[in-house]
Amino acid sequence: MEPEPNLVISSASQRVVVENVPFKVDIYKLEGGEGWSLEVVTEDGTSIVWDDLFDDDGAAFDEALATIKKEGPVAFVRGDENVIPFRR
């Protein structure tokens, strides 16, 4: 049985504040894998994950900031049609 690959967390992962709204930007990949995954987490724990992988972690971070600024921080935290709740 093959061991599970390790998760590599980018040093570009960090907390950011845009228009007084805090976000956690997580950038990671599987050890030995191709491409970086991007996840933005809101203060209330809502997670937004990009479907596409990024060639490098800097590009992923730039995309996170650009999207938050373009869509507006409120779009990430409004909790209406853009959120699919997990079953409890």
Instruction: Decide if 61 contacts 12 (C-beta within 8 A).
Output: yes
Q: What is the C-alpha separation between 68 and 23, in angstroms, rounded?
A: 9
Q: What is the C-alpha separation between 76 and 56, in angstroms, rounded?
A: 24
Does the predicted TM-score (pTM) go above 0.85?
no
pLDDT band at 85 (very low <50, low <70, confident <90, very high): low
pLDDT digits (tens, 9 = 90+) for 19-56: 999 999 999 999 989 999 999 999 888 899 999 999 99
Task: Give the mean pLDDT of the chain.
Answer: 88
Q: Does position 69 have pLDDT exceeding 80, yes or no?
A: yes
Q: Which amino acid is at 25?
A: V
